[in-house]
Structure 1
Amino acid sequence: MSDDVQNSIGEAVKANDVLLFMKGTPTFPQCGFSSVVVQVLDYLGVEYQAVNVLDDQQVREGIKAFSNWPTIPQLYVKGEFVGGCDIVKEMFESGELKDFMADKGIEMEAA
């Protein structure tokens, strides 16, 4: 994996308060797991940016190496890796995700 891809991913993670690496786009998710995370973020009213890993194979593989996490989607908040679909869903259902976002200073409309 090239250093350029890792640097580019790192810069994107730093530049966006909430960043979702996903398959597809928020308006047209290309997998069920990505769709679940989009629904959670939309429900909370969180503003976020998304990277469609299907657009670039190097990013698709690079994000797995960057986080040392084997699956996509991957959610980052204030530069911190939160997790994939299962973790985000569990945190949402327990109320922990809302608290985490609030603690990080992330504005939520529906909170």
Structure 2
Amino acid sequence: MSDTAVHDFIARTVAEHPVVLFMKGTPDAPRCGFSSLVVQILDHVSAPFVGVDVLQSEELREGIKAYTDWPTIPQLYVKGEFVGGSDIVREMFQAGELQTLLSDAGVLDQAEA
């Protein structure tokens, strides 16, 4: 896959899905603790999301880092906007900011938020 194809895939994925987690492994079988943590947080707040396994290709793994200019994985996107990695997501969750962001984005059932 070329850099352009990877960039287009990432852009299309974040545009088509309200919540996307670029992660190592899958939501059912995370392959790193940081990815697992973000999956647990999203599941805890009942946020529907799409997980993209960056381990499926070196181009995708490097491409997502270049796309956001962010050096680590996982990377969470809400409504096409980069939110952050596991530390930022955890801090936002603990402060209640993640739930507010997801609710404001219309991806959480208001009764659950």
Instruction: Write the deviation string for residues 17-68 of structure 1: whole angstroms up to 9, x where unpaired.
Output: 0000000011111000000000000000011001000111111000000011
Task: Tell whether the 8 Å contact from 1:44 to 1:98 is kept in structure 2 after alignment.
Answer: yes
Superposition deviation, residue 103 in structure 1: 1.0
| TM-score using structure 2 length | 0.94
Superposition deviation, residue 2 in structure 1: 1.4
* Consecutive aligned runs of 4 or more in structure 1 exceeding 3 Å deviation: none
Percent identity between matched residues is: 53
User: What runs of 5+ residues in structure 1 fail to find an aligned partner?
Assistant: none
Segment of structure 1 superposing worse, 98-107 or 70-79: 98-107
How many pairs are equivalent?
111
Equivalent in the alignment of 1:92: 93
SS in 2 for 1:19: strand
Superposition deviation, residue 107 in structure 1: 1.8
**CA-atom RMSD in angstroms:** 1.2
Are 1:14 and 2:15 counterparts?
yes
SS in 1 for 2:70: coil
SS in 2 for 1:46: coil
Equivalent in the alignment of 1:104: 105
1: CA distance between counterparts of 2:108 and 2:91? Answer: 20
